Amino acid sequence: MKDKLFELLYNLSKIPYQRFFKNKEPWTVNREILLTYPEQSLGHDLGLFLTVNHFSMEPKLEDHDVMHVLTGIGTSVKEEIAMQFYLFGNGKRSLYLLAVLFIGSLFYPLELFFFISYYKRGQKALSFYYLDYSKLLLHPTEKIRKTFKII
């Protein structure tokens, strides 16, 4: 029940967040184009991630799916919250992220140690949350991970 409520809150907040807080241009590629990128590149791995999870590109929110690819963190509600803890540990700060941390901690107090472990993982990685991933789509995913000590 908590998962459904959290998903509902996310879906209600996504459109205003995209519209009013994300001032960058949406990417010009889609899942099908990404799958034509060289194997093991960030673009191809992103295309595979979207395909396996039955997702499509969310305009202006493309970086979020890239974070899943780079960190290897899944897409369950608990894992989505963990990824925000990871990004917080990595230095990312936004009102939206802080809201997820706060609400996620309230909804899942028994998972706090799990979330903190992801926060610590994020601290160990070099800051990468701010990169322009649209320019890195042809680069090998593993090289990006190793360069920034992501996994």
What are the tens digits of pLDDT across the range 96-125?
899 999 999 999 999 999 999 999 999 999
pLDDT band of residue 25 (cuts 50, 70, 90) is: confident
Specify the pLDDT at position 95.
87
pLDDT band of residue 24 (cuts 50, 70, 90) is: confident
Reply yes or no on whether the pLDDT at 79 is more than 90: yes
What are the tens digits of pLDDT across the range 55-69?
998 888 899 999 999
Domain boundaries, the chain: 2-16+35-148
Beta-ladder partners of 41 = 140
Residue 1, number of CB atoms within 10 A of its CB: 5
Q: Which amino acid is at 55?
A: F
Percentage of residues in the chain with pLDDT exceeding 70?
85
Specify the pLDDT at position 18.
47
CB-based burial label for 51 (10 Å; 0-12, 13-18, 19+): middle
CB-based burial label for 8 (10 Å; 0-12, 13-18, 19+): exposed
**Helix, strand, or coil (residue 136):** coil
- State the alpha helices, DSSP H only, in the chain: 2-16, 31-34, 42-52, 62-71, 77-89, 95-107, 112-124, 141-148
pLDDT band of residue 37 (cuts 50, 70, 90) is: very high
Are 62 and 25 in contact by the 8 Å Cβ rule? The answer is no
Reply yes or no on whether the pLDDT at 47 is more than 90: yes
